Amino acid sequence: MKRIIISGGGTGGHIFPAVAIADELKRQFPEVEILFVGAEGKMEMEKVPQAGYKIIGLPIAGLQRKLTLKNLALPFKIVKSIVRARKIVKEFQPQVVIGVGGYASGPTLKAASMLGIPTLVQEQNSFAGKTNMLLAKKATTLCVAYEGMEKFFPKEKIVMTGNPVRLEVTQIEGKRSEAFAFYGLDASRPTLLVIGGSLGARTLNESLIAGIEQLQQAGIQVLWQCGKLYYEELISRLKGKDLTGIHLTQFIARMDLAYALADVIVSRAGAISVSELCLIQKPAILVPSPNVAEDHQTHNAMALVNKQAAVLVKDADARTTLINEVIQLMNNKEVQTTLAANIAQLGKPGATKAIVSEITKIG
């Protein structure tokens, strides 16, 4: 295993698994050279170098849902990206090219296939993304995290591995005291963790604003990750309010400590968030985002809800019902125990190693 290209991104849900795969490759093959290929102007161009890896950007973009002049430029961007991706692949000469979803993985894996290089697609969601469905026809191997993916992919190429997650995020044993000290919260009180994904979630933020006093009256303290897009606005709207027991932050760097102190977690239902929740085995209320392609967060959430492994609150209902659901669950230890036991059955702690094993088979 000498050289690997990993391509994709756009959101934390694509970037973090890509970095987890890269880290495991480095652990197993210290000499391996890894190059990331992302989309110019997207989150991966910042996050991947922070993780210690080189990244090259393509001028690729997605189709805008509303009519806009930007869509007219899209065919030119795609052609330009394929030409540039082909040049990158020819120069770097990888043994394997991995796609994790997101705009950039399309041109990169297409270029690799045209040059006869084996490709591996890692699909995080229970409802496959369009890019991955197109790439699946030429891909060598398809690593998935949910059952029933033959609806989208050729059955003979599918390997059930689970989603790669960052090891340091899910190692929470023995960290509870450190976590409460780190976030300045009271270890004797029931604690709610609210996570809206890497960019934050307006619905969750609005629900919390409406329900802060209700939570405080119920004796519940909150670690609230609101996203950097919303932080300044929230600080201004919460001015003058009693925020005792409320720790508001735009981003959580120490996710392991956040998970360690939580009694109940409210989260969006991005694939990687769901995979992490399965591994940390905590009771969760999922509020799927309605603003994602193919409504895949609802599909991810239902895979847990159908096994009594999580509670579902619809985005449209969250502002009026979420806080009541939180208080009800906090007060019901029996349901908490059932949810935690059931979600534990769905965790795949060896996922990243299993994916690297598939990479070595084709490279």
Which residues are registered as beta bridge partners of 141?
120
342 appears as a binding residue in the annotation: no
Q: Is 275 annotated as a binding residue?
A: no
**Residue 40 clears pLDDT 70, i.e. is over it:** yes
CA distance 8 to 14: 7
Q: Which of 32, 57, 61 is nearest to 47 (CA)?
A: 57
Selection from 279, 269, 284 nearest residue 193 by Cα:
284
Biggest alpha carbon distance in the chain? 63
Domain boundaries along the sequence of the chain: 3-163+349-362, 168-344
Select 3-163+349-362's CATH number: 3.20.20.100, 3.10.20.70, 3.40.50.2300, 3.40.50.2000.
Answer: 3.40.50.2000
Q: Is 12 annotated as a binding residue?
A: yes
Q: What angle do CA 186, 252, 243 make, to 5 degrees?
A: 45
Report how far residue 237's alpha carbon sits from residue 249's, in angstroms, rounded to the nearest whole number: 15
- Please report, as a single letter, which amino acid is at residue 128: A
| 13 marked among binding-site residues | yes
Which is more confident, 24 or 74? 24
Q: Which CATH superfamily is domain 168-344 in?
A: Glycogen Phosphorylase B; (3.40.50.2000)
User: What is the average pLDDT across 8-14?
Assistant: 83
Higher pLDDT, 268 or 9: 268
C-alpha to C-alpha distance for 338 and 326, rounded to whole angstroms: 16
Instruction: Answer for the pair 39, 129: CB distance below 8 angstroms, yes or no.
Output: no
Distance between CA 303 and CA 299 in Å, rounded?
6
Report the share of the chain in percent with pLDDT over 90: 82
pLDDT digits (tens, 9 = 90+) for 331-343: 999 999 999 999 9
Outline where DSSP puts E strands in the chain.
3-7, 33-39, 54-58, 96-99, 119-123, 141-144, 158-160, 191-195, 221-225, 246-249, 264-267, 284-286, 311-312
Kindly indicate the confidence band of residue 105, based on its pLDDT and cuts at 50, 70 and 90.
very high
Rounded alpha-carbon distances, angstroms, from residue 260 to 119, 174, 183, 311, 319: 37, 8, 11, 20, 27
To the question of whether residue 297 is assigned a binding role by annotation, the answer is yes
**Strand duo 284-286 + 191-195: pairing:** unpaired
Predicted pLDDT at 71: 55
Residue 344 contacts residue 308 (beta carbons within 8 Å): no
* CA distance to 260, 283, 339, 341, per residue, from 334 (Å): 20, 11, 9, 11
Nearest to 101, CA basis, from 143, 72, 138, 73? 143
| 337 is an annotated ligand-binding site residue | no
Task: Write out pLDDT tens, residues 212-261.
Answer: 999 999 999 999 999 988 999 999 999 988 999 999 999 898 999 999 99
Strand partners of residue 142: 121, 158
291 is in an annotated binding site: no
Strand order across the beta sheet in which 221-225 lies: 246-249, 221-225, 191-195, 264-267, 284-286, 311-312
Q: Which amino acid appears at position 50 of this protein?
A: Q
Q: How far is CA 307 from CA 10, 125, 193, in A?
A: 30, 17, 22
Q: At residue 66, does pLDDT exceed 80?
A: no
- Predicted confidence at residue 76, as pLDDT, reads 76
What average pLDDT score do residues 23-52 get? 95
10 Å Cβ neighbour count for 125? 28
**pLDDT tens-digit readout, 272-316:** 999 999 999 999 999 999 987 778 899 999 999 999 999 999 999
Mean pLDDT value across residues 164-189: 95
Position 63 confidence tier, pLDDT thresholds 50, 70, 90: very low
Q: Report the pLDDT averaged over residues 146-166.
A: 94
- Residues 21 and 11: their CA atoms lie apart, in Å, by 16
The mean pLDDT value of the chain amounts to 93
pLDDT reading at 123 higher than 60: yes
Q: How many helices (H) and strands (E) does the chain have?
A: 15, 13
Fold match flag (3-163+349-362 vs 168-344): yes
Do 38 and 55 touch, CB atoms closer than 8 A?
Answer: yes
- Residue 64's pLDDT is 46
C-alpha span between 271 and 288 (Å, rounded): 11
